[in-house]
Amino acid sequence: MSIPGPALSRNSKSRAEAVTAVAQRTSGRISAREVAVWDPLVRLIHWTLALTILLNATVIEDESTAHEWIGYVALGLVGLRVIWALVGPTHARFSSFPPSPARAARHLRAIFAKEHSVFLSHNPLGALMVYNIWLSVIALGVTGYMMTTLAFFGVEWVEEAHEVIFGWLVLSVALHVAGVALETRRSGVKLVRAMITGRKNIPEGSCMK
Amino acid sequence: MKLGLWPAKTKERRATILAGLILVQALCALFFIADVIEDLRLDGRIDGPHMVLEFVAAVALVGGVIFLMIELRGLLARMSDMQTGLDIAHGHLADIIEGFFDEWGLTDAERDVAIMILKGLDNDAIARVRNTAAGTVRAQATRIYAKSRTDGRAQFISLFVEELLAGNTQLGDI
């Protein structure tokens, strides 16, 4: 049994798509296709970092040893994520989400123009937020460490810097969460779920970037 | 929709465990490196079994993290290759099925029914999906079997499996 040559030639493409469409309609996985984007290391680092920030900002006593240790863990997490962004898989790499205000501005325009674009890695605005949060955590870790050293113990500007950066981080996290909520509504990609399962659902009719 | 927190597939489980190990081991490495630096700052000496052991532990942990990262990247690449292969196979299977349907001259309605037969739906289920009477589906199925010169559901399905198993050279140049 072999496949007839000419039959495959002309509109076989659309025919094949019809096969796929019927096959999907009856399989329960109706909605859209899913793409694996976040590897387990990215997800683990993300949620652990969120946990350390939450812990140090809320329940942990400010000048306790636990606060210091959790701070160092957060610093280590960012360090590990940066290494992974250099050597890791495609979507986790710096090259997938370059810090580019120009791209972010273009993305903003696309949002207002109601384009249905979907980014597999971070979207350009989200990418800026990623770098902002990482830098804030690093700055918090460094000023926090300085407070424990003899040279900077009790120095006022260090403590003030730590406080100011903390305020900035809280604001950033709030913006991050709001951004995720808005982008989820706009693009139809369930972003929180993607950061848990690692898979982004790509709604039909949206163009992938 | 179910949130698969613990992945069902072996490879994904392996990747998750690897990632967890990398995370914990990296933090341990950080601790030992910081400890070595701190000891050096206070002490200024690198001798003594304690220091040597700590230094070795730090180096081993860093090496372990790097090795695990390479392992994880390799595993993720293999998983993504497999997905690509599945996508290609999926597209080609659709082409093969379409080729058969064209050869037999199935009508559009018959194509729909034939695909659902291949997917393992019974006549009642097909009738529900297509909003037709079960009798209509039965008649369409009979015509499909007649056109494909098969004597029923099982033989009809085996046509396609046979095509996949036979390793047809025409399909070799994917």
Please, which pLDDT band fits residue B9 given cuts at 50, 70 and 90? confident
- Mean pLDDT, chain A, whole residue set: 82
Report helix, strand or coil for A118.
strand
The answer to whether residue B48 is domain-embedded is yes
Please, which pLDDT band fits residue B63 given cuts at 50, 70 and 90? very high
Q: At what angle do helices B134-147 and B153-165 cross, to 10 degrees?
A: 50
CATH of the domain at B149: 1.10.10.10
Q: How many domains does chain B have?
A: 2
Which residues of chain B make contact with A41, given a CB cutoff of 8 A? 18-19, 22-23, 72
| Domains of chain A by residue range | 33-208
The answer to whether residue B96 is domain-embedded is no
Please, which pLDDT band fits residue A4 given cuts at 50, 70 and 90? very low
In this complex, the residue of A1, A7, A76 whose CB is nearest that of residue B26 is A76
Quick one: average pLDDT of A100-112? 87
Contact at CB, B76 and A83, closer than 8 angstroms: no
Given CB atoms, is A86 within the 8 Å cutoff of chain B?
no
Q: Is the ipTM of this complex over 0.95?
A: no
pLDDT of residue A20: 60
- Integer angstrom CA distances of residue B84 from A35, A57, B79, B81: 11, 43, 9, 5
Best A9, A10, A20, A26 residue to mutate vs chain B (most B CBs within 10 Å): A26
Q: In the CATH scheme, what is the code of domain A33-208?
A: 1.20.950.20
Given CB atoms, is A138 within the 8 Å cutoff of chain B?
no
Domain with B127 in it: 105-174
Of B33, B53, B87, at which residue does a domain stop?
B87
Cα gap A87→B70, rounded to integer Å: 8
Summarize pLDDT for A5-34 with one digit per residue, the tens. Answer: 333 333 444 555 566 666 655 554 434 577
Summarize pLDDT for A74-98 with one digit per residue, the tens. Answer: 999 999 999 999 988 888 999 888 8
Question: Is B82 in the same domain as B130?
Answer: no
Summarize pLDDT for B95-108 with one digit per residue, the tens. Answer: 888 888 888 889 88
Summarize pLDDT for A122-164 with one digit per residue, the tens. Answer: 888 889 999 999 999 999 999 998 888 888 877 888 889 999 9
Planar angle of CA B156, B159, B165, nearest 5 degrees: 145
Contact at CB, B168 and A2, closer than 8 angstroms: yes
- Burial class, B37, CB count within 10 angstroms (exposed 0-12 / middle 13-18 / buried 19+): exposed
